[in-house]
Structure 1
Amino acid sequence: MLDLGKMRDEIDVIDSEIVRLFEKRMKICENVAQFKIETGKPVFDKSREQDKLKTLGAKAGSDFNRCGVEELFQQIMSISRKRQYQLLQENGIEEPSDFTKIDFINKENVTVVYQGVEGAYSYGAMKTFFGEDVKNYHVATWKDAMEEIKFGRADYAVLPIENSTAGIVQDNYDLLTKYDHVIVGEQIIRCQHVLTALPGATLSDIRTVYSHPQALMQCREFLDAHKEWHQKEWSNTAAAAKKVSEEHDLSQAAISSSYAAEYFGLNILSENIFTNSDNSTRFIIVAKKKVYAKDAHKISVSYELPHESGSLYNSLSHFIYNGLNMTKIESRPILKRNWEYRFFVDFEGNLSDSAVKNALRGLRSEVQNLRVHGNY
């Protein structure tokens, strides 16, 4: 009979030898990094690594072990690169940045654009972030808002990016990719939807409910209890309230905020109609100038990956090895490239931090089309 204890002892000896050889290899990698520092050669040589993985895999005695050897050395090489990126940073070799650090985000004497009308949640987010007296105006679509700051007609745009109940606002993730703007701040607003209608209307009068598709989704349980109502998507919760106010039809209702109801002279038929009592929307403050405040603590990036095994893990490991706390990851399909995706990652840090610079250097070398969307 085989002796399990003896076999485990043998594995312990082998594992200790693997650790010794790993550290010996890492020491040589540090010397390689020093050579690259002196010569300016890039850390990542993809073709050499692929050739080496193929050569090492061929030394294995079975297909299973070949896959294991290639996976093992792929990670060892990835770890080696991360150490070399750290050494580049420690030796003062930094990549140029197109972001400028400033003391604080200016909120005085600025013009802000938002999508919708007065009374919209975007309007509330703008007032909360910039103050009651900020100069502002509204446009019809989120794209219009991005165009306004692109051409300098506004300093900032306010856009919803995710809701705690309905998830991400996909269109605005796509707009962040399309425009060369940056996020300079964020504001979270509680979205406590109410059902509003004309004065004199009752629940039994209602036949059609208007609201933004996100708000309809966030009030799904309430709406499901009224199967007789026809739901119609509208551009904005406040715009829906405005429509009901202007058309003087007792059979129409809108899902909006209570302050939109007050602004447009509507009555509240039902309160607390949202499914999640903590229902909130996160809004981002977007600007054209690539700046970040010295006390900024969150960074948003996006990048594309090759359709290869382990590519997502390898990209995320740059945050792990640099001690950075990743707070969110989302993916969006890439236009005209079926089944390929752009990943959006939020993580804690400041663009001035060495750990952040290390992680971004590694990502820039190993992923495709890295974008830093802001530090705020």
Structure 2
Amino acid sequence: MAELAQLREELDRIDDQIAKLYEERMRVCGEVGEYKVKNGRKVFDRQRENDKLADVASKVSGDFNKKGIQELYQQLMSMSRKLQYQQLVEAGALGRLPFIRISDLDRQNARVVFQGTEGAYSQAAMKQFFGENVNGFHVRTFREAMEAIEEGAADYAVLPIENSTAGPVIEMYDLLDEFENYIVAETILPIVHTLSGLPGTELSDIKRVYSKTEALMQTADFLDSHSDWQRISVVNTAIAAKKVLDDNDRTQAAVCSAYAAKVHGLSVLVDEINDAEDNSTRFIVVTNQKVFLENASKISIRFELPHRSGSLYSVLSHFIYNDLNMTKIESRPVKGRPWEYCFFVDFEGNLEEPAVKNAIRGLREETQNMKILGNY
């Protein structure tokens, strides 16, 4: 039996040959790319790649080796495509990216919509981003807010997309998919919940607590210590505060912000009742214009993939190869196609950066129904 050192020497010899063959292969792939650029040919030819995978599998024996060589060639062909996408971008063949760069948003004259009512966290986020004197108004639902900017009743909408403890606001992903509206900025608001009630209310008076479902979840530890209180969900925290005021009933309290309590004339009975001290919500600023700020540093996209093994893995390689940091991924069901999903991805970058252009070119070729949701 050969010694380990001898076996490793043999592997090194084989690897040297593989490295030289890899360089030779990539040189030929570069020539193929030049031909495609000159003749307007698509980089990604799925049928050609499927035929190639079947061919190489037929040249080795055993299920393990067949699967292994197909995985190897999938990576080789992926590297070939990335080189050719780079050649296309360098030749100016990026494809249509109809986003216009702007230097700033018109925060002084903008009309802004938020979901909820006076005192909502969304209103606080709107004022945090646009200023105390913002020309704002509220609507009942997220959909109505998206409709308001689509129809031109508002220039921007400020809407929650993710909470640091409760996770994503799923409805917003579906609406971003449905509407032709785009993210142009974001703002992060610390979420500090209070227990608030009518002036003069004592904790011993309380029988029912109202709030948004997520807020009740985020204050569960405090509420659990008062197990006799009934918890009732309403649309949002500000509406909970308004209900307590309107009902004029000291047996009721609301989990809401100190701001909402002040707006609706309630007293803060217990402050800072969050389970997590670092609770915060990320709000997106949405418009119906395809614009992005020149200093934008995050991109959100949406795409679909073929329903087969390895498709997501292959697509995510575009971020790795182009040194782009992916910060978030979510999946949602595709309407009308049971058990198929679309993906929402956030990654760092600006639409004018060559690495971003190269990645987007590859993603457009290899995914279905890709949409850039915004650069902000």
| TM-score of the superposed pair, with normalisation by structure 1 | 0.98
Is the contact made by 1:105 and 1:292 (CA closer than 8 Å) also made in structure 2? no
Shift of 1:94: 2.1
Q: Which residue of 2 aligns with 1:117?
A: 117
Shift of 1:221: 1.5
1:286-328 CA deviation, whole Å, 9 max, x = no partner? 0001101111111011111112111111111111111111111
Number of equivalences: 376
Q: Take 1:340 and 1:10, find their aligned partners in 2: how far apart are those partners?
A: 46
Q: Which residue of 2 aligns with 1:172?
A: 172
1:12-60 CA deviation, whole Å, 9 max, x = no partner? 1111211111111001000000000110000000011001101111111
| Partner AA of 1:53 in structure 2 | L
Shift of 1:265: 1.0
Q: Which residue of 1 aligns with 2:293?
A: 293
Runs of 4+ in 1 over 6 A off after TM superposition: none
The residue correspondences of 1:215-294 to structure 2 (distance < 5 A) are 215-294=215-294
Any stretches of 5+ residues in structure 1 without a counterpart? Answer: none
Shift of 1:339: 2.4
Any stretches of 5+ residues in structure 2 without a counterpart? Answer: none
Is the contact made by 1:234 and 1:240 (CA closer than 8 Å) also made in structure 2? yes
Shift of 1:335: 2.4
Q: Which moved more, 1:97-106 or 1:355-364?
A: 97-106
Q: Which moved more, 1:199-208 or 1:64-73?
A: 199-208
Q: Take 1:2 and 1:202, find their aligned partners in 2: how far apart are those partners?
A: 84
Shift of 1:82: 0.5
Q: Structure 1 vs Structure 2: percent identity of aligned residues?
A: 54
| Partner AA of 1:225 in structure 2 | S
SS at match of 1:239: helix
Q: Take 2:16 and 2:339, find their aligned partners in 1: how far apart are those partners?
A: 43
Residues 1:64 and 2:59 aligned together? no
1:331-371 CA deviation, whole Å, 9 max, x = no partner? 12222323222111111111111111110110010011111
1:123-168 CA deviation, whole Å, 9 max, x = no partner? 0110011111111100000111001111110000110000011000
Q: Which residue of 2 aligns with 1:38?
A: 38
Q: Which residue of 2 aligns with 1:367?
A: 367
Q: Take 1:275 and 1:2, find their aligned partners in 2: how far apart are those partners?
A: 62
Q: Which residue of 2 aligns with 1:108?
A: 108
Is the contact made by 1:328 and 1:346 (CA closer than 8 Å) also made in structure 2? yes
| Partner AA of 1:141 in structure 2 | T
| Partner AA of 1:186 in structure 2 | E
Q: Which residue of 2 aligns with 1:162?
A: 162
The residue correspondences of 1:127-138 to structure 2 (distance < 5 A) are 127-138=127-138
Q: Which residue of 2 aligns with 1:326?
A: 326
Aligned-CA RMSD value: 1.0
Q: Which residue of 2 aligns with 1:198?
A: 198
The residue correspondences of 1:134-153 to structure 2 (distance < 5 A) are 134-153=134-153
Shift of 1:278: 0.7
